[in-house]
Structures are given as structure tokens and as C-alpha cells.
A and B are shown apart, each in its own frame.
Chain A
Amino acid sequence: AQSVTQLDSHVSVSEGTPVLLRCNYSSSYSPSLFWYVQHPNKGLQLLLKYTSAATLVKGINGFEAEFKKSETSFHLTKPSAHMSDAAEYFCVVSEARNFNKFYFGSGTKLNVKP
């Protein structure tokens, strides 16, 4: 069965320092992996996705994530945090055998300190 674990419910960084948001998944089939960002009272915006091409995926706003099959991880990183990055981040997984199933992590709230 599919599952997605976001290891940290809250992450706090200082502006200008690196960001690391962790996501581990379990999947029996070829997974597609996504990161979404949600600002307060807004919908979710797609940051980036992995769909079996390059394992290092670059997304919008300077974010990137690396698919590591051996570690079943898809951690989200950014070299330098900006105040506007403060939001909730969701890791999402789908698998090739069921296009209508998407599994959500519980979310990580990123706080950026000035």
C-alpha cells in the first residue's frame, strides 16, 4: 500500500539559510512524486514533480528535490530561504497502476525568521 511520511510537522529557518523538508514514501509500483505549497487560505500550488525522468528535479521559486529510490525519499530543498517561502508544504505520491489515486503527506509548516 502507498503511504507518504513527512518527517517534520514544523521547520523553522532563518532567512538566507538552506531549507530541507523531508518526505519518505512507500510504493510497490513506479511512483510519481510531487511537492505542493499552500499559503494561508489558498489552494495548493505545484512546486515540482518527479515522473521517472531525471532524479534531480528543479521546480519554481528555486526549489528542487531529489528522488532517491534506495532511500525511498523525495526531500525538498532550497539553498536560501526567503520570507515569502513561509507556508505549508505537502508531499504527494501517485502510482502508475491507478491514475486517480494521490496520497498526501501530513504537511510541513515552514517558518522563516528574519
Chain B
Amino acid sequence: GAVVSQHPSRVICKSGTSVKIECRSLDFQATTMFWYRQFPKKSLMLMATSNEGSKATYEQGVEKDKFLINHASLTLSTLTVTSAHPEDSSFYICSVRSGASGNTIYFGEGSWLTVV
């Protein structure tokens, strides 16, 4: 399967600051990446679909100006949480879509964000 690197794995930031999470596809070029948020003991909630070279498609209820997504290259998508608040503390996971072996998504290791 594909190798997806997500960084940082854990980050603590102060309220009001911004933090960036990177998602890299290490062994193939990904035109589509996805960002999820996972609350404790819950399933994944899709936040947005990141498309290389174009604007991300956000799910209903997700603030575009708060969760900035950039997919500037075929191997890198970034999620920036702007003006972070404690309620933004969560586990964020990215995935990449591969069509090579039957439309499959592969996940990063996730990033724990704690806003203090």
C-alpha cells in the first residue's frame, strides 16, 4: 500500500495562534487528499477534500477560513488551523486516494493537536 507521512504527530499551541499540519504522499503522486477530524471514541469526520492545484472542497459545517487547506504539489497537502481555540483540540488525520489498485485510500498516522 501507499506510504503517507503526517507531521507533526503531536503539537501543542496557545490559543489564538495558528498551527500547520503536513500530509505527504511518499511513493506516488496524489491528486486528491482528504482531511478528517476524529473525536474520542468516534468515527472519522471528513472535513475537506484537497485537490492539487485547486481549492479544497469543504464539508458542510466546516469553516473554510479557520481550517485552511493547501495542496500545492502532488505529494503535499497542508492543513492550517488558524486562530486556534481549545475546542479545536482533536486528532486530525489525512488520507490520500490511489487509483492504481482500485480506488483505495491510505491514511497518515494522525496528528494530535492540543490548544491551551
Q: Does A107 contact B43, Cβ atoms closer than 8 Å?
A: yes
Q: Does B97 contact A99, Cβ atoms closer than 8 Å?
A: yes
Q: Once bound together, how far apart are the Cα atoms of A46 and B109, in whole Å?
A: 12
| A contacts with B, residue count (CB < 8 A) | 22
B 37-59 contacts with A by CB, 8 A: 41-44, 46, 49
Name B's interface SS. Answer: strand
Instruction: Confirm or deny: A90 has a beta carbon within 8 angstroms of a beta carbon on chain B.
Output: yes
A residues lining the B interface (CB < 8 Å): 32, 34, 36, 41-46, 49, 51, 90, 92, 94, 99-100, 102, 104-107, 109
Cβ–Cβ < 8 Å partners of A107 in chain B:
42-43
Q: Does A99 contact B99, Cβ atoms closer than 8 Å?
A: yes
Q: Once bound together, how far apart are the Cα atoms of A106 and B97, in whole Å?
A: 21
For A44, A45, A107, the residue with the greatest tally of chain B CB atoms inside 10 Å of its CB is: A44
Total CB contacts across the A-B interface at under 8 A = 52
Q: Does B44 contact A49, Cβ atoms closer than 8 Å?
A: no
Q: Does A46 contact B108, Cβ atoms closer than 8 Å?
A: no
Q: Once bound together, how far apart are the Cα atoms of A105 and B42, in whole Å?
A: 10
Residue of B nearest to A102 (CB): B105
From A32, A46, A90, B1 is in contact (CB under 8 Å) with A46
Cβ–Cβ < 8 Å partners of A43 in chain B:
4, 6, 93, 107-110
Instruction: Confirm or deny: B60 has a beta carbon within 8 angstroms of a beta carbon on chain A.
Output: no
Known: A32-B104, A99-B99, A107-B43. 5 other contacts (CB 8 A): A42-B109, A44-B44, A94-B103, A104-B43, A105-B43
Instruction: Confirm or deny: B91 has a beta carbon within 8 angstroms of a beta carbon on chain A.
Output: yes
Q: Once bound together, how far apart are the Cα atoms of A6 and B79, in whole Å?
A: 30
Q: Does A32 contact B43, Cβ atoms closer than 8 Å?
A: no
Q: Does A49 contact B104, Cβ atoms closer than 8 Å?
A: yes
